[in-house]
């Protein structure tokens, strides 16, 4: 009877023992369940500490970039308003003059109508006391006609030009106002995102806050180490240059070599020992800028602010160099072009350090690889390493005077 038996299906139980096929399937199911359990958490779970930190940093960057764009639009709008105001004053003056001229033309026409002298003719000749009187009246009417034509032509020309200028000014001002309004709206949006990020931070547990503080502390320590390394490099360069200066009879460092930045590593305000060089002139101005900058430490960052109670980053650098008698443009985009670009190795106290590809941040170098800057919303003017966001974040260094 054996031949008629059907073969037993693979994977069935025999005496309570699972066959290899079923065991393999079960193991596969367990593995899949394990992978599912270890997969990314649902979207409604709160972000990780690293994600929160990155989000906050990104939002601060966006806020500062928007601030510089707002500053540029505000400055342009202010200039445009001044120009439009002058133009409208000129238009009003011209319009008044033209109205006066039109009234005179009306008086001429009324006089001609009353006297019937709109066109000298035979009747005028007969009514004239003498041929000479007729001749004088004819010449007068001719002159009045010429004046009228010239006045009308001038009125029409100036009226058209004035109207065109008024329209252009109004359109330009409207465009700038709309742009500024859009930037304000964008700024408000970023501020809302910042508030959301701050809320996330406030919801962290005490342990998470401690971990985040440790991460920030390590980032700051790394930045400080980079600053110390730069200071050592500049000090070594200065020592190497000193024998050469002595041999050449200069007896001092030259501002053109850029090594005078090493004086910052000794804790000074960046002045060099050269009393008659260009470097000494720059150091004098830089010293005034740095002294003013240090007096601002602790004041809050406020977007669009230029002092004296609060600053944004470019408002701060503009104010400190103004204290040294040097006028800088308002925004980072313009300040980066307001001076001489130097290498990072040749940086001196007083130089401006610009950050990021969009040139959205700037600080004032004070030596030792450190700067004073207005960092970001919610922070205060402070000293910090120029490597606070990594060396790759440094865009350029500019000497403004």
- Tell whether omega for the bond before 308 is within 30 degrees of 0, i.e. cis: yes
Q: Distances from the Cα of 147 to the Cαs of 96, 143, 144, 153, 382, in angstroms?
A: 18, 6, 5, 10, 71
Catalytic residue list contains 361? yes
Options 4, 192, 373, 395, the catalytic residue = 373
Contact 89, 150 (CB under 8 A): no
Options 4, 147, 192, 361, the catalytic residue = 361
Query: Quick one: which H or E segment has residue 18?
Result: none
Tell me how far apart the alpha carbons of residues 187 and 136 are, in angstroms, rounded to a whole number: 75
Tell me how far apart the alpha carbons of residues 265 and 57 are, in angstroms, rounded to a whole number: 30
Determine the angle formed by the axes of helices 49-115 and 206-248, rounding to 10 degrees. 70
Catalytic residue list contains 147? no
Render the burial of 254-288: b for 16+ CB within 10 Å, e for the rest.
bbeebbbbbbbbeebbbbbebeebebbebbbbbbb
**DSSP class per residue in 290-320:** HHHHHHTTTPBB-TT-BSSS-B-HHHHHHHH
Options 4, 147, 313, 395, the catalytic residue = 313
Biggest CA–CA distance in the chain, Å, is: 162
Contact 368, 267 (CB under 8 A): yes
Catalytic residue list contains 395? no
Catalytic residues: 313, 361, 373
């Amino acid at each position: 009877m054996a031949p008629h038996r059907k073969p037993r299906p693979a994977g069935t139980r025999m005496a309570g023992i699972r066959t290899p096929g079923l065991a393999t399937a079960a193991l596969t199911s367990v593995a899949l369940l394990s992978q599912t359990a270890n997969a990314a958490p649902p979207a409604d779970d709160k972000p990780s500490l690293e994600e929160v930190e990155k989000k906050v940093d990104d939002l601060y960057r966006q806020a500062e970039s928007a601030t510089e764009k707002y500053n540029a639009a505000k400055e342009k709008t202010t200039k445009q308003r001044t120009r439009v105001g002058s133009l409208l004053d000129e238009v009003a003056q011209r319009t008044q003059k033209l109205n006066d001229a039109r009234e005179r033309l009306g008086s001429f026409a009324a006089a001609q109508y009353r006297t019937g002298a709109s066109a000298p003719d035979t009747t005028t000749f007969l009514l004239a006391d003498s041929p000479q009187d007729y001749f004088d009246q004819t010449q007068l009417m001719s002159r009045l006609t010429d004046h009228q034509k010239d006045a009308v032509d001038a009125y029409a020309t100036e009226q058209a030009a004035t109207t065109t200028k008024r329209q252009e000014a109004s359109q330009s001002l409207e465009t700038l106002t709309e742009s500024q309004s859009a930037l304000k709206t964008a700024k408000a949006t970023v501020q809302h995102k910042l508030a959301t990020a701050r809320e996330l931070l406030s919801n962290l547990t005490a342990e998470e806050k401690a971990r985040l503080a440790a991460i920030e502390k390590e980032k700051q320590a790394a930045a400080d180490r980079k600053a110390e390394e730069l200071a050592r490099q500049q000090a070594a360069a200065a020592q190497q240059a000193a024998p050469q200066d002595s041999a050449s009879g200069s007896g001092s460092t030259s501002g053109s070599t850029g090594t005078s930045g090493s004086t910052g590593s000794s804790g000074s305000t960046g002045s060099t020992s050269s009393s008659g060089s260009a470097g000494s002139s720059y150091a004098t101005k830089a010293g005034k800028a740095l002294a003013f900058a240090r007096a601002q430490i602790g004041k809050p960052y406020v977007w669009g602010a230029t002092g004296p109670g609060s600053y944004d980053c470019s408002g701060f650098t503009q104010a400190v160099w103004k204290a040294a008698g040097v006028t800088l443009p308002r925004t980072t985009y313009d300040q980066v072009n307001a001076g001489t670009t130097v290498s990072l190795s040749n940086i001196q106290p007083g130089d401006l350090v610009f950050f990021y590809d969009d040139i959205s941040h700037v600080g004032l170098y004070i030596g030792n690889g450190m700067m004073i800057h207005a960092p970001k919303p919610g922070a205060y003017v402070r000293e910090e390493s120029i490597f606070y966001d990594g060396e790759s974040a440094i865009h350029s260094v500019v000497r403004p005077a």
